Amino acid sequence: MGRMIQESNTLQEGKTTGFFRLDEEFVNKMNEEMVPLEEEARLKYRDLATQLDRRYQQERKYQDAIGINFSRITPTASFIFLATDATQTGQVKRNTYFQTGTRYYEVLDAEMFSKMSDAALIETEEISSPPSPPPLAELTLEEMLQHAALDLLLLCFFAGGFTSVAFLKFFRSDI
């Protein structure tokens, strides 16, 4: 191991204070030994962060699905979901948008971010142009109808059910 040099100063009251100065050779050797440990810790941290993010996204999707399904008890919400899906501005488009963004980030990470060194973050001349983002996928009419089928069925049920209840109430009071 390297040498450690202790220097001390004596104060007026007779107390001694000191500090250690590390030899440059010792510091360089320690830095070399820390590089693989730092890389392993960085990879573990990245894997843990990815795992936590994936779990968060799954929980968020689950919560979204519960909220959407509870809101479908009203005809207004079913109509809104049907209309937004038909105009491709609803949940399906939102999910497609976020999936495309996630895929684009993965491409950027694989092609650029993972290849950058700490020096490249400072010197921007080394950074190449980023890949272009993938286009958003457009839904076909069949896919849109498959997704909106539940809302369409609920609207038919609400229309038939409410009309039947109103007719029966009117028929009873008319007789």
Q: Sign of torsion, CA 105 108 110 114? A: negative
Quick check: is 19 in a domain? no
Task: Answer whether 94's CB lies under 8 Å from 136's CB.
Answer: no
Sequence letter at residue 85:
D
Mean pLDDT per 10-residue section of the chain, whose length is 175 residues: 46 57 80 86 89 93 92 90 87 87 85 63 60 81 85 92 90 76
Let me know the angle formed at the C-alpha of 112 by 129 and 101, rounded to the nearest 5 degrees: 90
In the prediction, which pLDDT does 99 show?
87
- With b for 16 or more beta-carbon neighbours within 10 A and e for fewer, the 129-148 pattern comes to eeeeeeeeeebeeeebeebb
Quick check: is 150 in a domain? no
In the prediction, which pLDDT does 125 show?
53
Task: Answer whether 97's CB lies under 8 Å from 136's CB.
Answer: yes
DSSP code for 124: G
Quick check: is 58 in a domain? no
Residue given tokens 């040498």 in the structure block: 3
Domain boundaries, position 127? 91-138
Task: Answer whether 96's CB lies under 8 Å from 90's CB.
Answer: no
Give the SS3 label for residue 118.
Answer: helix
In the prediction, which pLDDT does 107 show?
85
Max intra-chain CA distance, the chain: 113
DSSP H stretches of helix in the chain: 24-71, 75-86, 91-111, 118-122, 141-174
Quick check: is 170 in a domain? no
Query: What domain count does the chain have?
Result: 1
Quick check: is 144 in a domain? no
Task: Answer whether 16's CB lies under 8 Å from 9's CB.
Answer: yes
Quick check: is 168 in a domain? no
Task: Answer whether 81's CB lies under 8 Å from 152's CB.
Answer: no
In the prediction, which pLDDT does 7 show?
46
DSSP code for 73: T
Quick check: is 127 in a domain? yes
Quick check: is 43 in a domain? no
In the prediction, which pLDDT does 8 show?
45
